[in-house]
Amino acid sequence: MGSSSPISIIEDLIPAILSRLPSKMSAARFRCVSKLWASMLASPYFKELFRTNSLAKPRLLFAIVKKDKWRFFSLPQLHNPCEKSSSTLVAAADFHVKFPRKIHHNSNRLYFAHGYASGLIYFSGASSDDKLVLCNPNTGGYAVLPSLKRYRKTYSFFMFEPIDKQFKILFMVYSCCDRNHKILTIGTGDMKWRTIKCALQHEIASEGICINGVFFYLGETFSRNNDDHVLKSDYVIVCFDIRSEKFTFFDTERFCRLINYKGKLAVIYFEDDVNTLSFLYRKRYHVEADAINKLHVWVLEDVETQEWSKYAYTWTDDKFFRRRHVKVAGVTAWGEIVFSMDKYTPKEPFYVFYFNPERNTLQRVEIQGFGEACCSVYTFVDHV
């Protein structure tokens, strides 16, 4: 291993030292130390580093809706929560704003679409008359996007492309309709919806996640007989390159949820998971409260070879969690998978759960401060 000069070591240490300064302390006072320190402080790299480390504290964001009226709350995320899953922490959410527009809501995601990316929330609403809106949940500020004629059953994704730093919205039409999907690049001088083609006919079967400029979601395909009756369904992971706007696909064994686990695509599922929104679903699904049911986490190590690292976890001491009153909210930057309830009622506690796969710990946190009315809750991870 080659040796480093004292100058290069100092150059490496300066950003590390300064980026750890308390947010209330001005870094400008250190310009007088030397010309090297002064030039480092003036660099765009350090300004971004200092801003990120000092000011951007990740939080859980809650979007709460009651009678089409929206409110936003947040609270700091836990980092390395305690290891005793039987204990319950209590935290109060901070109220941000009440959103000034009504947005029609339907808990069935085929009729209502929303998305979160880089601190902004996108709503398309449950009615074809709803305006497409992009909003800042911290301030309540919003922008109305160009209108789009759409079918009742359409699903839209909101995504961010990190190279060109562009936000895009992808509208996927219902599979029985034409395959003229639509895409919009936000912020361009003349924003217009463009037609985009997808070679594989499929239904949307999951929320989407963005990893390094690629947007992933789960699709469902159907096999039919000569009379066009559906015989069976299969699942496929759809990969959409946000920059090139090209689709690729690869098979997956079963219905699952997709997550971004430390920069890698991962899927999670319980053994008895089913797609309740599938065309083939029948209401035979039931989970025993005292059943032992494993949570499976598969991490895609190599996209080309389809090599997965597979793990399974079992909890026997949290019946509330295993009753599936929770949905996957996302994964923190530290690797904790966050599950959250999606309904709030003042008569019962509202919980989020932090699961650490590396330590196999499950931490329950009771969230307070949502008010006195029953409502639907959408939870987003790593909000800054």
Asked whether residue 144 is assigned to any structural domain, the reply reads yes
Instruction: Classify burial at 259, counting beta carbons within 10 Å of its beta carbon; exposed 0-12, middle 13-18, buried 19 or more.
Output: buried
As a whole number of angstroms, the distance between CA 337 and CA 55 comes to: 23
Residue 205 lies in a domain: yes
Is 71 part of a structural domain of the chain?
Answer: yes
pLDDT of residue 6: 41
In degrees and rounded to multiples of 5, residue 30 shows phi and psi of: -90, 5
Same domain, 16 and 92: no
Alpha helices in 223-357 (DSSP H): 319-322
Domain membership flag for residue 165: yes
Per DSSP, the three-state class of 260 is: strand
Both 261 and 375 in one domain: the answer is yes
What CATH number corresponds to the domain at position 331?
2.120.10.80
- Residue 286, in any domain of the structure: yes
In contact, 111 and 104? CB cutoff 8 Å: no
- 86 & 218 share domain: yes
* Residue 1 domain flag: no
289 lies in the same domain as 140 = yes
Give the max Cα distance, the chain: 81
Phi/psi of residue 129, each to 5°? -85, -10
CA distance 288 to 170: 38
Residue 144 shares a structural domain with residue 190: yes
Counted residue by residue, the chain has a size of 384
Domain identity same for 100 and 10? no
> What span, in angstroms and rounded, lies between the C-alpha atoms of 149 and 352?
37
SS3 assignment, position 41: helix
User: Which pLDDT score is estimated for 108?
Assistant: 76
**Which pair of tokens denotes residue 335?**
């690797």
Amino acid found at 180? N
Q: Which residue has the tokens 């369904």?
A: 233
Q: Based on the fold, state whether residues 124 and 11 are members of the same structural domain.
A: no
- Looking at residue 12, its pLDDT comes to 45
Q: Tens-digit pLDDT profile for the chain (384 aa)?
A: 444 444 443 444 444 454 445 444 444 454 555 555 455 555 554 444 444 444 468 999 999 999 999 999 999 998 776 555 557 899 999 999 999 888 888 887 767 788 999 999 999 887 777 889 999 999 999 999 998 887 666 789 999 999 999 999 999 887 666 668 999 999 867 789 999 999 888 888 888 999 999 999 999 888 776 666 666 788 999 999 999 999 999 989 889 999 999 999 999 988 777 776 665 655 545 555 555 568 899 999 988 888 999 999 887 656 655 555 688 999 998 899 999 999 999 999 999 999 999 888 888 899 999 998 999 999 999 998
Q: How many CB atoms lie within 10 A of CB 176?
A: 9
Closest Cα partner for 361 from 301, 310, 308, 321?
321
Residues 42 and 64 reside in one and the same domain: no
Structure token digits, residue 382: 């790593």
Which residue in 24, 50, 28 sits closest to 37, CA to CA?
Answer: 28
Query: Residue 293, class by beta-carbon neighbours within 10 Å (0-12 exposed, 13-18 middle, 19+ buried)?
Result: middle
Do residues 370 and 238 share a domain? yes
Residue pair 158/175 in contact by the 8 Å Cβ criterion: no
Of 381, 275, 272, 375, nearest in space to 333 by CA:
381
Report yes or no on 274 lying in a domain.
yes
- pLDDT of 277: 65
CA-CA distance, 201 to 180, in Å (whole number)? 11
- 264 within a domain of the structure (yes/no): yes
Q: Taking the alpha carbons of 291, 208, 122, 96 in that order, is the dihedral positive or negative? A: positive
**pLDDT for the residue numbered 33:** 52
Domain boundary among 49, 65, 81: 49
Segments forming the whole domain that contains residue 10: 6-49
* Cα 262-267-270 angle, rounded to 5 deg: 130
Please count the structural domains in the chain: 2
Residue 44 sits in the same domain as residue 24? yes
Q: What is the pTM of this model?
A: 0.80
Regarding whether 105 and 138 lie in a shared domain, the answer is yes
Question: In this structure, are 128 and 270 located in the same domain?
Answer: yes
